[in-house]
């Protein structure tokens, strides 16, 4: 596929790997966090870790909206379906996220709740239009990438005066999550994660641009490189981060110039700010309450806000005691440090949210990296002859 395959080319990957090895100073260690699950997925799936020198370590961050969705929010959707008899529509990724009482939306559906999967917010709106007798709630989730489509359907619902449609808004914001990782007390408690820089979000940045990350570069003296989701994009970003560290710079650089600029998509931003406002605080799975990290629906759209319409009250529910998602999302632990990993907790039967989506750190490691744990040299000292190019 054009603009995809070129960025998965094995020969170029080997050249880039050599360039990274040449630029990484053997006398120092580098640790970079990729914020987005899309990067985590690319790194695991294409064996990027195997192409890096042993002193360059990638740490998986919290950047998967499914992984950071707390149990209590999914409980709200399940209660709506069971107790109020509404039809809940959501993206496929959300269906298997573990909720209270051993349930998930999928298991609730099997027990008779009317919960269905949609491919787009527009499909949810269309169902409400087609069946005016049915109460339809769109369970909206996602970072800045998925928020503009939700804003659009809310606007359309208001324009149509659609009385049987509402949105349960779970949209969260990436910059505040990065800030939380840098300031988290848990990180201090576990000892600091030695983060030398971030690979910044790809598709989120098509909307918000690269400007919001300038704050981190300045305030925390951490380099940020915005990168595309293909393996060569990630490798080039690592190379750019190494170079910044070597030169003592902490700037925002953009590897993904083919889709991202400094300002982002202004039309989408205007739409989002017309429909949504900041929540004071929102609970993230694994990170706890994060101030000003999520959006809620503005008052003029209250009639389409499921939380207002159904008077929902949020109850926080602790994660499974043995699940280490919280530490993993902060970069303090690795999936294999969790005692449930690949035994009790698998992608077929996830205990924690990091095992649900293929972008989650545990699922990515389960599918593509598990065997490396048992390699005698940890699999990293000799780069393989070929990059794995499954597509």
Partner 1 sequence: MCLAIPARVVAFAADDQAVVDLGGVRKQVSLALVDGVELGDYVIVHVGYALSRLDPEEAEATLALLREAGALLEPASGEAPA
Binding test (CB under 8 A) with partner 1, winner from 229, 276, 304, 366: 229
* Residue 325, both tokens: 């998602």
Please list, residue by residue across 76-86, b when 16 or more beta carbons sit within 10 angstroms of its beta carbon and e when fewer do: bbbbbbbeeeb
Applying the rule CB under 8 A, the residues between 346 and 375 that interact with partner 1 are 357, 359
Q: Which residue, chain included where needed, has tokens 């700010």?
A: 273
Nearest CB to ligand SF4, comparing residues 296 and 365: 365
Q: What is the sign, positive or negative, of the torsion defined by CA atoms of 87, 91, 96, 97? A: negative
- Using alpha carbons only, what angle is made at residue 239 by residues 233 and 245, rounded to the nearest 5 degrees? 135
Q: C-beta of 297: minimal distance to ligand SF4 in Å? A: 30
From 52-60, 102-110, 137-145, 318-326, span contacting ligand SF4 (CB under 6 A)? 318-326
Binding residues for partner 1 restricted to 239-258, rule: CB under 8 A: 239, 255-258
CA distance 171 to 331: 22
Decide if 387 contacts 14 (C-beta within 8 A). yes
Pairing of strands 295-297, 276-278: antiparallel
User: Residue 342 CB, nearest distance to ligand SF4 (Å)?
Assistant: 7
Task: Indicate whether 351 belongs to the interface with ligand SF4 (CB under 6 A).
Answer: yes
CA contacts within 13 A on the Cβ side of 245: 25
For 239, the token pair is 């190379």
CA distance 87 to 264: 35
Q: How far apart are CA 41 and CA 45, in angstroms?
A: 6
| Rounded Cα–Cα distance for residues 140 and 146 (Å) | 8
Among 65, 175, 335, 383, binds ligand SF4 (CB under 6 A): 335
Residue 171, beta-bridge partner list: 142
Q: Is 354 in the site for ligand SF4 (CB under 6 A)?
A: yes
Q: How far is CA 19 from the centre of its chain?
A: 29
Could you say whether residue 110 binds partner 1 (CB under 8 A)? no
Residue of this chain nearest to ligand SF4 (CB atom): 352
- Binding status of residue 64 toward partner 1 by CB under 8 A: yes
- Considering only residues 94, 225, 323, 364, which one is a binding residue for ligand SF4 as defined by CB under 6 A? 323
- In the complex, least distance from residue 276 CB atom to ligand SF4, rounded to whole angstroms: 29
Give the footprint of partner 1 on residues 78-107 (CB under 8 A): 91, 93
Q: Rounded to 5 degrees, what are φ and ψ at 75? A: -55, -40
- Of these, 324, 329, 368, 383, which contacts ligand SF4 (CB under 6 A)? 324
Residue 172 has φ and ψ, to the nearest 5°, of -125, 165
Residue 207 touches which member of partner 1, ligand SF4, none, C-beta under 5-8 Å by kind: partner 1
The entry of partner 1, ligand SF4, none that residue 168 binds, CB within 5 to 8 Å by partner kind: none
Nearer to partner 1, 196 or 233 (CB): 233
Residues that bind partner 1 (CB under 8 A): 1-4, 6-7, 11-12, 14-19, 22, 36-38, 41, 63-66, 91, 93, 119-123, 141-143, 145-146, 148-149, 152, 201-204, 206-207, 229, 232-233, 236, 239, 255-260, 265, 267-268, 271, 357, 359, 382-385
Which residues in this chain contact ligand SF4 in the complex, by CB under 6 A?
323-325, 328, 335, 338, 340-341, 345, 351-352, 354-355, 362
């Amino acid at each position: 596929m054009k603009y995809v395959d070129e960025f998965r080319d094995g020969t170029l990957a080997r050249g880039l790997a050599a360039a990274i090895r040449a630029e990484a100073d053997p006398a120092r260690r580098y640790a970079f966090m990729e914020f987005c699950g899309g990067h985590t997925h690319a790194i695991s799936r294409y064996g990027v870790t195997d192409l890096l020198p042993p002193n360059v370590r990638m740490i998986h961050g919290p950047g998967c909206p499914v992984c950071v969705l707390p149990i209590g929010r999914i409980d709200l959707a399940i209660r709506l379906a069971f107790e109020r008899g509404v039809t809940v529509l959501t993206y496929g990724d959300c269906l298997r996220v573990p909720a209270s009482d051993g349930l998930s939306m999928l298991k609730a559906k099997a027990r008779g709740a009317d919960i269905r999967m949609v491919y787009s917010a527009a499909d949810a709106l269309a169902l409400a239009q087609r069946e005016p007798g049915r109460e339809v709630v769109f369970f909206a989730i996602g970072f800045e990438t998925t928020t503009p489509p939700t804003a659009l359907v809310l606007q359309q619902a208001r324009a149509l005066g659609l009385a049987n449609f509402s949105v349960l808004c779970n949209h969260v914001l990436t910059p505040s999550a990065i800030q939380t990782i840098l300031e988290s007390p848990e990180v201090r408690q576990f000892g600091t994660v030695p983060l030398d820089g971030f690979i910044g979000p790809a598709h989120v940045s098509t909307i918000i641009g690269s400007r919001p990350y300038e704050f981190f570069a300045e305030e925390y003296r951490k380099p940020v490189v915005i990168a595309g989701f293909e393996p060569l994009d990630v490798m080039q970003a690592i190379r750019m981060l190494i170079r910044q560290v070597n030169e003592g710079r902490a700037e925002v650089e953009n590897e993904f110039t083919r889709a991202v600029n400094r300002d982002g998509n202004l039309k989408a931003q205007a739409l989002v700010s017309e429909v949504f406002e900041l929540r004071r605080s929102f609970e993230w799975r694994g990170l706890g309450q994060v101030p000003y990290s999520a959006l809620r629906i503005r008052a003029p759209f209250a009639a389409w806000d499921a939380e207002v319409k159904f008077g929902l009250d949020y109850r926080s529910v602790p994660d499974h005691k043995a699940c280490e998602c919280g530490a993993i999302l902060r970069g303090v632990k690795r999936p294999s440090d969790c005692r449930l990993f690949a035994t009790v907790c698998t992608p077929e039967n996830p205990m924690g949210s990091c095992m649900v989506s293929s972008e989650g750190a545990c699922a990515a490691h389960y599918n593509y990296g598990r065997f490396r744990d048992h390699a005698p040299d940890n699999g990293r000292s000799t780069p393989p002859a070929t990059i794995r190019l499954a597509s």
